[in-house]
Amino acid sequence: MTARPSVSPMTLTTVVASTRPGRIGRSVADWFTLRAAEYDQFESHTVDLYELALPFFDEPHPLALRQYAKSHTREWSRIVDVSDAFVFVTPEYNGSFPAPLKNAWDYLVVEWQHKPGALVSYGGVSAGTRAVQMAKQVVANLRMLPIGPTVSIPFVGELVEDGDFRAGKIHEAAAEQVLDELARIARVMRQLRSGTY
């Protein structure tokens, strides 16, 4: 790893975008979270949108006020607020990302700002890359910084055995690039948010 050790690890949250039965996304996210756990720059954990079970956006007040009326929004706000960086694990649905991911993004505004976001995509021949391009636009509009490196996994079904994603060397190398870039940018952006930069 090229990143230097830190006395204050940052929080990296990996978000599982797919909520459908039989999804592969959770196994991909579990692999990435374990990979990130080996990285001394981050405390890494996973948020599964299926388990989070956010209803379709239902907050009555302007989000910039952070006057949340719903307990599920307050919990989601807490998770995002304490996170320093994000990895969104997404398939591609009709040339874009799944609706639950957009819904999760739309629940919050302030909490996303000035934090880096990376994308891990999977699918068939396209490896979910069109979903990545669409997602980067949304991430940028949330005032996050979408990083350049990604992990793209084509023909993902061929890499799952007994429910576990079996990463190849190319995926491991891509994950390392993502983590290196997230560590560099998240450290600076945390200083930016605290006013110490």
pLDDT band at 6 (very low <50, low <70, confident <90, very high): very low
Phi-psi region of 94 (alpha: psi -120 to 50; beta: other; left: phi over 0): left
Domains and CATH numbers, the chain: 10-194 (3.40.50.360)
1: pLDDT strictly greater than 90: no
The CA distances from residue 90 to 26, 145, 175, in Å, are: 10, 17, 15
Task: Please give the distance of CA 93 from its chain centroid, rounded to a whole number.
Answer: 17
Cβ-based neighbours of 133, under 8 Å, separated by 6 or more:
none
Q: What is the pLDDT of residues 41-51, one digit of tens each?
A: 999 999 999 99
Q: Is 116 exposed, middle or buried (0-12, 13-18, 19+ CB in 10 A)?
A: buried
Mean pLDDT score, 30-53 = 95
pLDDT band at 5 (very low <50, low <70, confident <90, very high): very low
pLDDT at 46: 97
pLDDT at 195: 80
Spatial distance between the Cα atoms of 167 and 159, rounded to a whole number of angstroms: 7
7: pLDDT strictly greater than 60: no
Residue corresponding to tokens 């909490």: 111
